[in-house]
Amino acid sequence: MRKQLKDAKRIVIKVGTSTLIYPNGNINLSAIDQLAFTLSDLRNQGKEIILVSSGAIGVGLNKLNMDKRPPTIPEQQAVAAVGQAELMNIYNQRFLTYSQQIAQLLLTRDVIEYPESRKNVTNTIEQLLEMGIIPVINENDTVAIDELDHLTKFGDNDQLSAIVAQLIQADALIMLSDIDGFFSDNPNTNKDATLFSEINEINDELLQLAGGKGSRFGTGGMYSKLKAAERVLAHNGAMILANGQQPKIIFDILNGEMIGTLFI
């Protein structure tokens, strides 16, 4: 199954904040540079690359010298606005080092759910890819808030990356996280936890392991990653969950090596 990843032409890469920000809150410039190098080289190989990137709030906290996320939504949105500009500034600088042009798209769920807006977004991404440009996509955190009466939020960038992969009919979604894949238990607390090499169906048992109510695996965002995989599988796609500490791992994944968990 993994050998077919070598033939993947249109690939969505999702990076989480843990790849971009050190635990101490500083920006991981090494990882960002490695990511820019890797994705630029994949473009040089003739592949179509879309980057879905978290990190706006993390970068904003660093830029504003804040040591913790503020409590109110307006404050968080302000931090995200500062961080998004700074994050794109860093991305632009690093990608241009490798002569690769990028573009920014900030999306909210209503853009995807209205047919006309969805068509416009899809057309924009298709045009950028045709021009050899890498779209960098994030949720518009200054607009999308997680309130009960406000339905414009994707929920997280895991879901957003799966939706983007669905929209543009990507051959593969590579999700880089702070864990080596999907495990039978939390590997940080259970040394006997085993890695699932391949998963073909998302069922209730897996969702419980990942963070369903009363589960053992309540941290690390695994539940949202499984829900993203569920969306990908529903559209006959492929998703790989792997550790993003060294983004060059993408080369090995696309070479068919046994890395992370393959959902197919």
Q: Is 227 annotated as a binding residue?
A: no
Q: Give me the residues of the chain with pLDDT under 70, please.
A: 144-155, 212-220
Segments in the chain forming alpha helices (H): 17-20, 29-44, 56-63, 73-97, 109-113, 115-130, 157-167, 204-210, 222-234, 249-254
Note the residue count of the chain.
Answer: 264
Are 230 and 212 in contact, with CB atoms under 8 Å apart?
A: no
Task: Give the span between the Cα atoms of 86 and 200, in whole angstroms.
Answer: 39
Domain that holds residue 203: 2-263
Q: Is 260 annotated as a binding residue?
A: no
Retrieve residue 26's tokens.
């500083």
Q: Is 222 annotated as a binding residue?
A: yes
Q: Is 6 annotated as a binding residue?
A: no
Inter-CA distances, 259 with 25, 77, 251, Å: 28, 36, 11
Q: Is 117 annotated as a binding residue?
A: no
Q: Is 66 annotated as a binding residue?
A: no
Q: What are 176-222's pLDDT values in tens digits?
A: 998 899 998 888 788 888 999 999 999 988 888 877 533 333 334 78
Q: Is 157 annotated as a binding residue?
A: yes
Q: Is 219 annotated as a binding residue?
A: yes
Residue 189 burial by Cβ neighbours in a 10 Å radius (0-12, 13-18, 19+): exposed
Q: Check residue 190 and give its pLDDT.
A: 85
Who contacts 173 (Cβ-Cβ below 8 Å, separation ≥6)? 11, 12, 14, 161, 162, 165, 228, 232, 237, 238, 239, 240
Q: What is the SS3 assignment for 29? A: helix
Q: Is 22 annotated as a binding residue?
A: no
Q: What are 31-59's pLDDT values in tens digits?
A: 999 999 999 999 999 999 999 999 999 99
Q: Is 223 annotated as a binding residue?
A: yes
Q: Is 155 annotated as a binding residue?
A: no
Q: Check residue 258 and give its pLDDT.
A: 95
Q: Check residue 113 and give its pLDDT.
A: 82
Q: Check residue 78 and give its pLDDT.
A: 93
Could you write out the three-class secondary structure of 139-163?
Answer: ECCCCCCCCCCCCCCCCCHHHHHHH
Q: What is the SS3 assignment for 11? A: strand
Say how many domains are in the chain. 1
